[in-house]
Amino acid sequence: MKIRFVVIGGPHQGEARELEGTSEIWIGRDPACAIALPSDGALAPRECKVSFDPQGFRIEPAEAAGATYVNGARVEESPLFPGDQISLGSSVLRFDSVEGFAQAPTVHLDSTEAHCVRCGTKLSIADSLKNLADSASTGEYCPRCQELLGQGRSDTSRRLRTIVAGDSFLGREFGVYEIVAFVGEGETGRVYQARHRILKEVRALKFLKAAYAADPGKLRRFFQGVQAATRLDHPSIVKAFDANVIEGHYFFAMEYVRGATLARALREKGQLHWRLVVAIAQAVAQGLDHAYRKHVVHRDLKPSNIVLARGGVVKISDFGLAKTLADKGSELTKEAEGFGTFPYIPPEQIQNAREADHRSDLYSLGVTMYQALTGSLPFLDENPPLAVIVYRIYSDTPAPVREKAPEVPVALAATVERLMAKNPADRFQTPGELLAAFGRAG
């Protein structure tokens, strides 16, 4: 296992530490520390310890040491995730990456003001996110009440089997996969739950609709997207495995995730508490940061492509329009083809999809956050025609976040509005910059 820390503030700013094969990492002024910062006189010889086990990474200040902060919050002991910002002494470090350790970034923010609708218990961010991830949820419940009410909750898998009674794909085999259940349908295809007959694993198969597969250009872009997606391996991204065509049916296999999309949560709740929005956006930004390092751009980030997995894990799905930056000049992407989904698509992507880069994905995340915070989408007042939406994306400035949601902190509102800047140069330039900003926005 290989991990990396980058010093982003203090006397050692710009330095990086890459470590391999250790389960305990000390940070401090002592040269014997794995991460030694001898020029920071405000540090204790041993300031804090980062350790890991199969459950994940944790950070713990040493006894008699100074205060340790993670993403702006003082901690005594806290989970640690890639992208987290650590402040100690006069230094600021970013826990930059993990290779060879499949840790999922779960939520670890302060409590929200939400309460269980049954018993009144205050809910944590993690509780709220798990509620959102339960597609059968009809309200906010604490873990105890969820267990008590479990028998009364609707059974999603049973409902799915009822919906698709008579589906000709059910029970069929496509190569090593056996179709088990229908999951859902989108603009480009249908998704099924499948069992890998050799590995005995549950996966999701997305079959392209016939009209989509009949278009040679769309088919080429489909395979381009799958090739880009298979390069990614991160807990915040739904893993893509492979693609195939059998009996004229084009499909690709991906990780099967139980939960609900952010789009569904927003349809049911309208808007979310700002701390919950930050938690979701942090996880998405961590996934985008991994894609950035692999030179892959999503190009269609939106609430329906953000999955709230049961257990409190957030994942980006559907890299079907993804491309690598090496494909920037490819004829597979014509200048007039903007791709993406209105109004989440940024101005530069409408004009020329070949120019879309990671700042375009950050714009789409900004629109998603705006929607989740305010309960409304920018540029869609009075349900305008498409031409008007395009004009507004190019020309109009959305209503300020705090005008629609005054409870949102000023710094967070500014972060979202910067993400939605018309000019890519005015946005955060990398997902890592955004992750650092989240430490200040809350």
Q: Which residues of 235-248 are buried (b: 16+ CB within 10 A; e: fewer)?
A: bbbbbbbebeeeee
- 300, 327, 357, 361: which one is catalytic? 300
Query: For residues 299 and 319, what is the distance between their CA atoms, to the nearest angstrom?
Result: 8
How far does CA 187 lie from the centroid of its chain?
21
CB 45 within 8 A of CB 19: no
CB 15 within 8 A of CB 9: no
Residue 30 has φ and ψ, to the nearest 5°, of: -65, 125
Query: How many CB atoms within 10 Å of residue 373?
Result: 25
Closest CA to 287 of 66, 81, 8, 440: 81
CB 305 within 8 A of CB 226: no
Residue 173 has φ and ψ, to the nearest 5°, of: -110, 135
Q: Structure tokens of 133? A: 């991830």
Active site residue 53: no
Q: Is 404 exposed, middle or buried (0-12, 13-18, 19+ CB in 10 A)?
A: middle
Question: Given the DSSP bridges, would you call strands 24-28 and 35-36 parallel, antiparallel or unpaired?
Answer: parallel
CB 350 within 8 A of CB 379: no
Query: For residues 212 and 303, what is the distance between their CA atoms, to the nearest angstrom?
Result: 22
Query: For residues 316 and 321, what is the distance between their CA atoms, to the nearest angstrom?
Result: 13
Residue 318 has φ and ψ, to the nearest 5°, of: 55, 75
- In 172-296, which ranges are continuous DSSP H helix? 210-213, 216-229, 262-269, 274-293
Query: For residues 441 and 274, what is the distance between their CA atoms, to the nearest angstrom?
Result: 10
Q: Is 322 exposed, middle or buried (0-12, 13-18, 19+ CB in 10 A)?
A: buried
The residues annotated as belonging to the active site are 300
